[in-house]
Amino acid sequence: MSGGAIEITGVTVRYRDVLALDDVSLTVAPGRVTALIGMNGSGKSTLFKSITGLVRPDAGTVLLAGGSPAAARRRGLVGYVPQSEDVDWTFPVSVRDVVMMGRYGRLGITRRPRAADRAAVDEALERVELTDLADRQIGALSGGQRKRAFVARGIAQDAGILLLDEPFAGIQARARPENRAGSLNPRPRRVRFTAAATAPAPDCRRRSPPPPHHASPPRPRRSARRRRR
């Protein structure tokens, strides 16, 4: 892999008259756990949505392992744990169904899971300690358990890049991903795994100290803010 696992260059995203990201550049090397910390509304989720292809930048480029977000999606390269607010928790699916979604890209035309898919799902559930709750509706879990179900989906997907949006919300200090992020690597022998996580800035929501590596939070530049007035 040349360059970074994630290479973002000059990305600008607007929602109508809101400038959410202004000329953001960032490179995350393979095999790293990286935290992105910023105030509420500073554009962390928008940056993740640009990486997953859910939001198309107005300018700039996003490369994942050298390819486009669409190509990465087809290859199942990116596992995404969305912010809780972005998920419809009333959807009638079980925890096991959610984790199986990580295998969808590999299922044949019949869309029927094979033994290998079921085994990958069981293993992922075990890794996040949700085996006992596998048949429960996803919305009937606690906040931390829901996060773990989505992490299991990324593990079952064998995603090379795992994005966790506000993974600390609802998770006990002892089990927080910044303490366990290294253990999330489903294939410790491989170095291509990259995890990126967002967290609100410590001074705006009182939380424990930030995780290991920090990237600058994307913030609209002063000049851009002036332009909009």
Q: Tokens representing 203?
A: 């001074």
Smallest separation (angstroms) from ligand ADP to the CB of 11 = 12
For the record, the structure tokens of 55 come out as 């939001």
Looking at 11, 22, 44, 160, which residue binds ligand ADP (CB under 6 A)? 44
* CA neighbor of 94 nearest in space, from 44, 54, 132, 38: 132
Q: How far is the CB of 220 from ligand ADP (least distance, A)?
A: 9
Which of 4, 5, 6, 45 is in the footprint of ligand ADP by CB under 6 A? Answer: 45
What's the start-to-end Cα distance of the chain, in Å?
43
CB of 155 to ligand ADP, least distance (A): 24
Amino acid at 89: W
Binding partner of residue 42 among Mg ion, ligand ADP, none, CB under 5 to 8 Å per kind?
ligand ADP
Q: Which residue from 169, 167, 187, 185 is spatially nearest to 177, judged by alpha carbons? A: 167
CA–CA gap between residue 62 and residue 50 (Å, rounded) = 7
Alpha-carbon distances of 42 from 20, 21, 198, 200, 216, rounded to whole Å: 7, 8, 11, 9, 11
Name the residue nearer to Mg ion (CB basis): 45 or 185: 45
163 binds ligand ADP (CB under 6 A): no
Binding residue (CB under 6 A) for ligand ADP from 5, 6, 11, 20:
20
Among 1, 3, 10, 18, binds ligand ADP (CB under 6 A): 18
Task: Figure out which of the listed residues 8, 33, 35, 38 binds ligand ADP, where binding follows CB under 6 A.
Answer: 38
Which element (helix H / strand E) includes 98? helix 95-101
Q: Residue 91 interacts with ligand ADP (CB under 6 A)? A: no
Cβ proximity to ligand ADP, 112 vs 228, nearer residue: 228
Locate tokens 């200090």: which residue? 173
With the C-alpha atoms ordered 89, 93, 94, 100, is the resulting torsion angle positive or negative? negative
Minimum distance between the CB of residue 63 and ligand ADP, rounded to whole angstroms?
Answer: 20
Minimum Å distance from CB 86 to ligand ADP?
9
Q: Is 12 exposed, middle or buried (0-12, 13-18, 19+ CB in 10 A)?
A: middle
Q: Report if residue 52 touches ligand ADP, rule: CB under 6 A.
A: no
Tokens representing 26 are 């960032």
Q: Does 216 bind ligand ADP (CB under 6 A)?
A: no
Contacts with ligand ADP, residue ranges (CB under 6 A): 15, 18, 20, 38, 40-46
